[in-house]
Amino acid sequence: MAKILYLDCFSGAAGDMLIGGSLDAGLPVEALQTALGSLALEADCRISVEQVNRSGLRATKFDVRRTDGTNGRKSHRHLPEIAALVDQSALSDSAKTRANRLFRRLAETEARIHQTTVEQVHLHEVGAVDSIIDIVGGVFALEWFGAEKVVASPVNVGSGTVTCEHGTLPVPAPATAALVAGVPVYAGPVTGELLTPTGALLVTEFATAYGGLPAMRIEQIGYGAGSRDHAGHPNVIRMLVGVEVDAGQSDHVGLLECEIDDMNTQMFGVLMDKLYEVGALDVFYTPIFMKKNRPGTHVTALVRPGDREAVSAILFQESTTIGLRYSEVNREVLSRKSVQVVTRYGEVKCKVAFRMGGAVNVAPEFEDCKRLAEAQGVSVKRVHAAAIQASENAGLAKSSSC
């Protein structure tokens, strides 16, 4: 079973938060110290790991401190200097490649925003000691789990403005916004910056998908704390580590709906046939009462987003509706396969649906049951029951009725 790492970014993300969450979820602090100790940084720099409380939640806070009392934000470096630090470290080749890729992404983003070149750009805050440690340490920490799949929730970026070397800027800051282009984000209730450039770099580097918690068996949970403590909103990232389980698959589908009270009922059969012909996943009619207590029909068509136009065209062409409603909904679909079972009447194909690794439904193919019933001179019900019994004998689970 595939190992999964889920990043719950309900309060944004930052490099120090991801490292803290990793430590909280099982990363040995000694392993992190060894990796970061191989960077040729200032000798008066050390890391700090402590337990803190953020709006009622216990979390691990990772920080970088200097023994001279400063906070590690003295140095501005160019990209080649940072690349040399990474290349001369004892990190794995994979971690070096990732870290250098992230610093280059950041340099290219900053250069584009400030109309300069990658060679000339100063990496300001991210070129400082603690931010180098945040990115390199974040890469080491997230690789340590060995997850085959990393999924992140939509990312809360915060709201309002943030003050930096370039002045007061809207949240997300320009570099951060550019780094999460194409990623689902939203502005949460907290005023201030929740997603930092280091957090944006790390989340987008590792996450291969975004959405809700995937079907998984959770084995470790870690909470990584941010620096600020927002009243009523825990400033933490939650990291869930586990293994994938089979719970079917989720996707997004479109829902086309309308109501009709003035169409010849014979035409509904033609309408349904044509809707299926152009790609509708499902079509169903619901009897309703409309204005002036008129009996009518609620028409629902489930479609793939790409088939919306074709299905809409048929609804307008083949029915009397003058308007449609369209919405997108989440759909969960169980994994399934077809199996052949042997009964005293012959072979019957059965559709088996699975969830969480086990069969949850077995449905004998009606046409097979009907064909065998006619050939053997027995009822369809009897053949269906025999197919259910055969599926149970074969170790398959629950069945559906005719």
pLDDT at 43: 53
State whether residue 268 is helix, strand or coil: helix
- Alpha-carbon distance 224 to 95, whole Å? 21
Residue position matching structure tokens 């470096």:
77
Structure-block tokens of residue 54: 């953020």
107 within 8 A of 118, measured Cβ to Cβ: yes
pLDDT at 402: 44
67 pLDDT tier (thresholds 50, 70, 90): low
Residues linked to residue 283 through DSSP beta bridges, in sequence order: 301
**pLDDT tens profile 7-57:** 999 999 999 999 999 999 999 999 999 999 999 886 567 889 999 999 999
pLDDT at 11: 97
Residue 225: which residues within 8 A CB-CB, separation 6 or more?
17, 20, 52, 54, 59, 60, 61, 235, 236
**pLDDT tens profile 69-117:** 555 544 567 788 899 999 999 999 999 999 999 999 998 998 898 888 8
More confident residue, 11 or 68: 11
pTM for the model stands at 0.67
pLDDT-wise least confident of 32-36, 169-173, 211-215, 311-315: 211-215
Packed helices 129-144 and 93-113: angle between N→C axes, nearest 10 degrees:
130
- Alpha-carbon distance 343 to 120, whole Å? 77
* Domains of the chain by start residue, with CATH: 3-244 (no CATH), 249-333 (3.30.70.1380), 335-393 (3.10.20.300)
Q: Is the pLDDT of residue 281 over 50?
A: yes
Angle, CA 231 vertex, CA 226 and CA 232 arms, to 5°: 100
Q: Is the pLDDT of residue 133 over 80?
A: yes
* Of the ranges 158-162, 310-314, 354-358, the best mean pLDDT one: 310-314
Angle, CA 210 vertex, CA 201 and CA 6 arms, to 5°: 80
DSSP element (H, E) containing 148: none
- pLDDT mean across residues, the chain: 91
pLDDT at 398: 54
**pLDDT tens profile 167-187:** 899 999 999 999 999 999 999
- Alpha-carbon distance 310 to 60, whole Å? 53
Structure-block tokens of residue 309: 């136009």
Nearest residue to 166 via CA among 212, 197, 131, 204: 197
